[in-house]
Each structure stands twice: as C-alpha cells, then as structure tokens.
Amino acid sequence: MSKQTGIDVEQYGFQLEEHTTAEIERKIDKVLDTPTDKLKDLSIRVQNDSIARYSYDNYRKQLTKYIEDVIRDR
C-alpha cells in the first residue's frame, strides 16, 4: 500500500514510500526476508483489527449515530 492512499499500514505490513520499480523491489525483498512468524503475526493483527472495526455491530452503531446527527441538526 502506498502513502498516497492516506491509510497508515505500518503496524500491519509494508508501505511503499514511492511509486517506483526500485521501491517495489525493495519491499518484495523485505517481505521475503521477514520471518514467517512475523508475517503470520502481522496477518493475524490486521484480521483481528478488521473484524473489530468493520463488524456488522460497529457498522450499525456508526450508521445509527450518523442518522441521529442528521436528525438532530435539522
């Protein structure tokens, strides 16, 4: 993922600093050099965070809040 997306992925994986072939090659080498246990840990962390952030219950709560805000601000 590149920095231009505006999404911070440093705690979950590998971020491209620039859009160049050399940078992509460096990141591929970094991934290949990363121990399997660390890659597994990164994968588990991103999965757990995604489940927590984007669960149906959280979606429902956030949508309810948006609707209540619109109604209140009318």
Domains in the chain: boundaries? 1-34, 35-74
Does pLDDT of 1 surpass 80?
Answer: no
What is residue 19's predicted lDDT score, i.e. its pLDDT? 86
- For residue 44, the model assigns a pLDDT of 93
CA distance 42 to 20: 24
Q: Report the C-alpha gap between 62 and 74 in whole angstroms.
A: 19
- How many residues does this entry show for the chain? 74
Q: Would you state the pLDDT for residue 3?
A: 62
Q: What is the pTM of this model?
A: 0.62
**Can you say whether the dihedral through the CA atoms of 35, 23, 47, 9 is positive or negative?**
positive
Amino acid sitting at position 39? L
User: Coil, strand, or helix at residue 40?
Assistant: helix
The helix/strand/coil state of 74 is coil
Q: What is the pLDDT of residues 9-60, one digit of tens each?
A: 767 778 888 889 999 999 999 999 999 999 999 999 989 988 888 889 999 9
